[in-house]
A and B are shown apart, each in its own frame.
Chain A
Amino acid sequence: MSVVSDTVDWLTDSINHSGTDGIPNRLVEHLGYTAETIAIAGIIAIPIGLWIGHTGRFRGAAVALTGALRALPTLGLLTALALIVGIGLTAPLIALVLLAVPPLLAGAYAGVESVDRQTIDAARAMGMTELQILRKVEIPLALPIIVGGVRSGVLQVVATATVAAYVGLGGLGRYLIDGQAVSDYAQMAGGSVLVVLVALVLDGIFATLQRLATGRRPQKQTSPA
Chain B
Amino acid sequence: MTWFFDNIDMIRELFVRHAWISVVSTVIGFVIALPVGWYANEHPRLRGVAVAIVGVLYTIPSIALFVLLPGILGTGFLSVINVIIALSIYAAAVMVRSAADGFGSVSPAVLDAASAAGYSRPQRVFRVELPLAGPVLLAGIRVVSVSTVSMLSVATLIGVSNLGSLFTDGFRRDFQTEIVVGILGIVVLALVLDALLVLAGRLLMPWTRGQKTVSRLRPLDDSVSKAVQAP
Contacts and interface: CB of A to CB of B under 8 A. Distances in A.
Contacts of A188: 67
B-side interface mostly: helix
Interface string B129-146: 000000000000000001
Interface residues of A, number: 55
Given A163-B157, A195-B64, A76 B182 contact: yes
A110 B55 CA distance: 20
A66 B222 CA distance: 12
A63 interface: yes
B9 interface: no
A67 B175 CA distance: 28
Nearest to A160: B61
Given A72-B150, A196-B60, A82 B171 contact: yes
Contacts of A40: none
Interface stretch (B36-44, B100-108, B183-191, B201-209): B183-191
Interface in A190-207: 191-193, 195-196, 199-200, 203, 207
Contacts of A148: 225, 228-229
Contacts of B164: 73, 75-76
A192 B64 contact: yes
Interface residues of B, number: 49
A73 B153 contact: yes
B179 A80 contact: yes
B225 A107 contact: yes
Interface stretch (A115-123, A135-143, A150-158): A150-158
B229 A79 contact: no
Interface in B51-84: 55-56, 59-65, 67-68, 71, 74, 77
Contact of B61 (A79, A82, A180, A196): A196
A53 to B, nearest CB: 13
A70 B179 contact: no
A200 B221 contact: no
B176 A80 contact: yes
A163 B153 CA distance: 11
Nearest to A166: B157
B42 to A, nearest CB: 24
A193 B68 contact: yes
B63 A176 contact: yes
Nearest to B61: A159
A185 B55 CA distance: 27
Given A151-B229, A166-B168, A199-B59, A76 B153 contact: yes
Interface of B: 55-56, 59-65, 67-68, 71, 74, 77, 146-147, 149-150, 153-154, 156-159, 164, 167-168, 170-171, 174-176, 179-180, 182-183, 186-187, 190, 216-218, 220-221, 224-225, 228-229, 231
Given A3-B71, A63-B221, A76-B179, 11 more contacts: A7-B71, A70-B220, A72-B187, A73-B164, A76-B182, A80-B176, A180-B157, A189-B68, A199-B60, A199-B64, A203-B59
Q: Which 9 A-B pairs have the closest CB atoms?
A: A159-B61, A152-B228, A192-B64, A79-B171, A67-B217, A76-B183, A148-B229, A3-B71, A192-B67
15 contacts: A7-B71, A67-B216, A70-B150, A70-B220, A70-B224, A71-B150, A79-B168, A80-B180, A83-B176, A110-B221, A148-B229, A185-B71, A192-B64, A200-B56, A203-B59
